[in-house]
Amino acid sequence: MEKQLVKTLIITFLFVMGYMFVMQKYFPKQTQPTQPVQEADSAKTTQTQIDIVEGSEKLPEATMGNFVVTYSLSGGYVKKIFAKPYNEELPFKNIGLALDDINRKFTAKIKDDRIIFTSADGATKEFIFEGYLLKIKSSLPAASGLILFSNSLQGKNLEQPYQEVFYVQKESFRKINLAKIRETTMSDVEFSGVTGRYFCASLLKGSYSVKWLKEKENFYFILLSPSAEVSLYLGPQTKKTLQPFGLQGIVHYGFFHGIGVGLAWLLNSLYVVTKSWGLSIILLAVIVYLIFFPFTSKSTKAMKQTQAMQPRIAELNKKYKGNLQKINKEERELLQEYNKKMMGGCLPMLFQMPIFLALWQVLPKLTELKGASFLWIKDLSLADHAFKLPFPPPVDYINLLPIGMMITGVIQQKFMTPPSVSGEQKSMGSAGLVMSLMFGVILYNFASCLTLYWLVQNILTLTYQMRVAKARFHVKTPQVS
């Protein structure tokens, strides 16, 4: 039985990993635009085409405060920006390109932290970088609109779910996934922009008319009838950097936002003490485990008591063999005695779900974890990548944390399913083993900050289960006359 179970687990693991590889290599996910629900009465749909010619020549670069900026003299705009503090190129491209200037030629002058573009007819455009704030000044009105930025719709699979367009209109803050956007024009917008996993781009608060446009494999954010000076936030999606501009509401952790804010605060507080994000995540897991330990203890003991009833039920079946009515009566009496305990042990576990769901939002999106190393983990925002394999993604690395999750999950199931249980409960235990393996496979390439937290929780729970497994639970069998 044990050998067969191990074989089943190994075959399941290899099948799922092979399936992931085949689907990613030969059947890449295609982004299909869908019609979003109308968000406001002022929404309109028009047809616009953008044709930005990509030249083969190398574009000039300049260091501007927090950024290394690549700019184009054809059109006079910022092609892309590289954030030095995070050692990463931001997902926002074609910044500040006026649709009327696509074919216009400019010269450029670098002065302090600004790029000054000048055309042959004397028109000027200035890009002024002040920290994470970009000011765009133009001497000519952009009658056809100003491309604030564009985003590729073919980003990394892990990043795509976090790409959302947000806007505030009539004091209502709304978000729409980037994949669901179609060409739409909106007026009387207080501020709007796009969020990614770690970075965002947003207009400062004011009154704007904006257009969202999807063309080919790009999303364009266009400002209509822009003023002579436009201010745009480009940078990390953190409250610390957004708050000075009144944009801290962009950081949102979903339905359990309040819990997420508390967990993020606690994690940051632990980092102040430990100076290690990895150690802070471990301590956070320990603190959350201790807070919910009474529920974990009650649930674990209830399951063990349920298991302890199995031999008693077997005795009743043997004692009253052939008397089905008597067996059913005695089993009902036995189960009624412990039914409340069983329910009381299971229901409190639901209290932990909001914490886990909030952490699911907080940890993978926490900008501070980007580039943070811990033990063999080079970047807590990525999978732990312990050992390189001679295979293409997604099986190009051995990730120890999800493997550890699978192992500890399997051991937990074995401890909670002793050999004496019935065949039905053995089947349930086998299902639990497969689920433990499947969770590890699903999270195999997830951010190591999340799998580290989960592994620590598994280890703490397993340690307690091992202790409970040594305890004996006595079940009083109803006296039969």
What residues does each domain of the chain span?
61-251, 261-470
Q: Which residues contact 58 (CB under 8 A, 6 or more apart)?
A: none
Tokens standing for 30? 């295609």
**pLDDT tens per residue, range 81-111:** 999 988 888 989 999 998 888 888 999 999 8
141 upstream amide cis, omega within 30 of 0: no
Distance in angstroms (rounded) separating the CA atoms of residues 238 and 272: 17
One-letter identity of residue 273: V
Average pLDDT over residues 61-74: 92
- Of the candidates 172, 175, 145, the one whose C-alpha atom is nearest the C-alpha of residue 237 is 175
- Of the candidates 329, 143, 113, 158, the one whose C-alpha atom is nearest the C-alpha of residue 223 is 143
Distance in angstroms (rounded) separating the CA atoms of residues 93 and 110: 20
pLDDT at 34: 34
- Within 10 angstroms of residue 168's Cβ, the number of other Cβ atoms is 18
Q: Determine the length of the chain.
A: 481
Residue 313 CB burial class (10 angstroms; 0-12, 13-18, ≥19):
middle
pLDDT at 423: 47
pLDDT at 73 over 80: yes
Long-range contacts of 403-406 (CB under 8 A, 24+ apart): 403/440, 404/455, 404/458, 405/436, 405/439, 405/440, 405/443, 405/451, 405/454, 405/455, 405/458, 406/13, 406/436, 406/437, 406/439, 406/440, 406/441
Match 């399941």 to its residue by tokens. 12
The answer to whether 196 and 237 have CB atoms below 8 angstroms apart is yes
Q: At residue 398, what are phi and psi to the nearest 5 degrees?
A: -90, 120
Q: What b/e readout covers 86-100, taking b as 16+ CB neighbours within 10 angstroms?
A: beeebbbbbbbbbbe
- The DSSP code sequence of 162-202 is G-EEEEEETTEEEEEEGGG--SEEEEEEEEEEEE-SSEEEE
Instruction: Identify the weakest region by mean pLDDT among 21-25, 214-218, 444-448.
Output: 21-25
Long-range contacts of 108-111 (CB under 8 A, 24+ apart): 108/60, 108/71, 108/73, 108/76, 110/62
**pLDDT tens per residue, range 328-380:** 666 666 666 555 454 444 455 566 778 888 888 888 888 888 888 899 999 89
The residue among 102 and 204 whose pLDDT is bigger is 204
Distance in angstroms (rounded) separating the CA atoms of residues 306 and 341: 9
- Of the candidates 230, 235, 259, 233, the one whose C-alpha atom is nearest the C-alpha of residue 246 is 233
pLDDT at 39: 40
The residue among 86 and 254 whose pLDDT is bigger is 86
Distance in angstroms (rounded) separating the CA atoms of residues 365 and 159: 10
Average pLDDT over residues 407-421: 68
Given the candidates 1.10.260.40, 2.70.98.90, 3.40.50.300, 2.40.30.10, the CATH classification of the domain at 61-251 is: 2.70.98.90
pLDDT at 82: 93
- Torsion over CA: 469, 472, 473, 476 (sign): positive
pLDDT at 182: 82
Strand pairing report for 124-130 and 146-152: unpaired
Query: Can you list the positions of beta strands (E) in 49-179?
Result: 61-64, 67-72, 77-83, 88-89, 97-98, 106-111, 114-119, 124-130, 133-138, 146-152, 164-169, 172-177
pLDDT at 12: 53
Q: At residue 273, what are phi and psi to the nearest 5 degrees?
A: -85, -45
Given pLDDT bands bounded at 50, 70 and 90, which one contains residue 56?
low
Distance in angstroms (rounded) separating the CA atoms of residues 281 and 265: 12
Tokens standing for 198? 């770690």
pLDDT at 47 over 50: no
Given pLDDT bands bounded at 50, 70 and 90, which one contains residue 305?
low
